[in-house]
Each structure stands twice: as C-alpha cells, then as structure tokens.
Amino acid sequence: MADSNKASVHGSKGKKRKYLPHGKSVRKGLYPLRPGVQGFFLTCDGGRERQAANEALNLLETFYEELVHGKESNAKSSAVPSKPLNTKIKFSDSDSSSDEEDDAHAEEPTACPQDQEDLQTRKDKEDAPAVPHDGEELEIPELANEREEIPSKKQRVDADARKQEDKPIDELIEEELKELGDRKKRHFVSLDSGCNGVIFIQMHKRAGEPGPSKIVQYMMTRIASTRKHMSRFILRFLPVELACYASESEISKAIKPLVAEYFPSEAPTPQKFAVLYDARANTSVERMTIINAVAKSVPQPHKVDLKNPDKSIIVQIAKTICLIGVVERYKELSKFNLRELTSPKQ
C-alpha cells in the first residue's frame, strides 16, 4: 500500500510532480515585439539583457533631452564661495603660536581694556532679542510673509482634499493603477524580442519630435567625439523606423514610406546606399530574397555602393519580425558598436 502511494506522488518514473498553487495569478512578462512599432534594436552580452535594457533606457533619456532641450548648464551657484573662508584666530595667552607669528603680528595695534568692554557691550545689545514695549506688537518681515502665505496654501490643500474625498476609494485606486500601468504614456518601453542577446526599446514618437534615426545618429556622433565609456553591456545600438512581418511581400509594401522619405525619386543629387542584412532565430527566410526586395524598392536615381555608401539600410530579422532603419556613416562610426566606438585607439 505504501509503495502504491509513493508511485502516485512521484509519478511513474519516480519524479516528483509540481503543482501550481490554486488561485495564484500568473506573472506576465514583457510585451512581445510586434509589427507596426518604432524604436531601437540593441545587441548585448548573452544573459545581460535586463542590465542592458536599463542602460539603454537611461542613455535614451539622456541623449533625447540633450538633443531636444539642449545641454544642462554647468554654472556654479553664486551663493557658494569658490574658496573656503578660513580665518585665523590668535589668543594672547596661547603658547602654541611660534616666534615668527609673534613677530609678524607685533606691529598690529591692540585695543585697550576700555575699548574691549565697549565693543562687548555693543555686541551684546545687537545679539539680544528685540522685546516689544507695552501695548506694542513686534512684527518681523519674514513671519509676516509666512502668515500671508499660510492661509492661501491651506485653502488649496483643503480644496484638493475635498476633491479626493468626493471620489470613492475604488476609483482612486483604479486611477493610480491605470496611470502606473499605461505603457503608452512612457516615452521609451522595453519589449521582449524573443532572442538571446537582443533587446528592443519601443519609442512612442510624438508629433514634432525627432525619430529613432536622428536620436541614434546624434548619440553616436557625440560618443565618437568624446569617446566616453557609456555602457557596460550594450554592444550595437541601431534605430528601427519600420517593423513588419519577415516576408518579401510584406517588406515591399511596408518600406515604401521609408524609401520616399530618405530616397525621393526627384532628389537633386543621387544617393549611394547599401543594404545590410542579419537574421536571428529564423531559417525560413532567404538572405538574398530580402536584400533584393529592399534594393528594388529604392528608385533609379540612387545607386548601390557597398564600399562607400552615403546611407545604409539596416535590415534585422528577429524570429518572424523584420526591423528596418536608415543610418549614415555606418562604417565610420564602428558599425554603431558602443564598445568599439569608445575603446582607445591603437
């Protein structure tokens, strides 16, 4: 009987079965990568996806603010003195002063005891708190200003508290959770790429804002000029302006607006371009099929030049999703590899 109970618990092969606790909610992961999004395609060391995603979010916020709003001023506050105000105190009865100090201060005039008493009396009067006379009310300017501000602040706080009290607790909790969980309000959001060593950061682009290509181009140019080490785990940082399913027909349809923006048919000077392709976790798509589909979408005035292109069309395939972006100076900027871009020149 005992042997039969052990077999039912451990199973037919002697392995212990694991059961999920009843009623426990399943933990959801990141939102998956899907067609129709814009953002940034990053590669990193395997197993460091979470750390690299946090670094990417910080970098994007920093360079986006710098690109849109300009640099922050590094001016020091005028209230902080540039040099410490050190004063030297000398006591007449002290034995620690050297003979040189005595000689240096020998010519300084000394005050007589009567003058010292007058100075001490005057200082005590200045430091003593002001006492109002009978029937008079002492008014201090700082306290008067605070008395005027306190009623107005109190009225605003009371009005806000009344508004909050009018709403039930359930609605307040729902509003707070909705505000925290609304991913559309965040500017940059990490998505699940489904591939090891690959990160995708989605950008919710607003009207009048620079796109992913401008942000990445500005970032790489700035890092190349300073050569300052910016990340520990991120390798390549590429813009994504188009995401669609990885098929020849879908790519040919979705790439038309992007080609019209960067390679207009009536351009005064033709552009030289190159198509760079890379695929991960997808063996059903042929390399040359995708490259030819992208190259044929570019109109005739522009020509292919693999050695010295003016612009490079980056095509990245992650599982069933195709990600496309356009960059400049790709080889000159170390193929947008942060580690190589910030490494010391040999």
Q: What is the pLDDT of residues 130-149, one digit of tens each?
A: 555 554 444 455 445 545 54
Query: Which pLDDT band holds residue 34 (cuts at 50, 70, 90)?
Result: very high
91 or 231: which carries more pLDDT confidence? 231
Query: Which pLDDT band holds residue 16 (cuts at 50, 70, 90)?
Result: low
- β-strand partners of 324: 242, 315
Query: Tokens in use for 240?
Result: 């994504």
Measure Cα distances from 74 to 59, 67, 132, 143, 176 in Å.
19, 17, 48, 35, 36
Query: Tokens in use for 31?
Result: 């939102």
Helix axes 212-226, 49-69, angle to 10 degrees: 90
Give the tens place of pLDDT for each residue, 96-110.
444 444 444 444 444
- β-strand partners of 244: 322
Q: What DSSP character marks residue 47? A: T
pLDDT at res. 296: 94
Across 138-167, average pLDDT: 53
Q: Which of 19-28, 168-177, 289-298 has the lowest mean pLDDT?
A: 19-28
Query: Tokens in use for 230?
Result: 């910016």
For 70-190, where are the alpha helices, taking DSSP H only? 99-104, 113-127, 141-166, 169-181
Dist CA 239 CA 201 (whole Å): 10
Residue 328: enclosing H or E segment and its boundaries?
Answer: strand 321-328
Please say if the pLDDT value at position 202 is more than 60: yes
Query: Which pLDDT band holds residue 153 (cuts at 50, 70, 90)?
Result: very low
pLDDT at res. 102: 46
* Topology of the domain comprising 39-67+187-342: VC0802-like (3.30.2130)
Residue with tokens 């607006």: 257
Please say if the pLDDT value at position 344 is more than 70: yes
- Given phi > 0 = left and psi -120 to 50 = alpha, else beta, which region is 308? beta
pLDDT at res. 209: 86
Percent of the chain with pLDDT over 70: 59
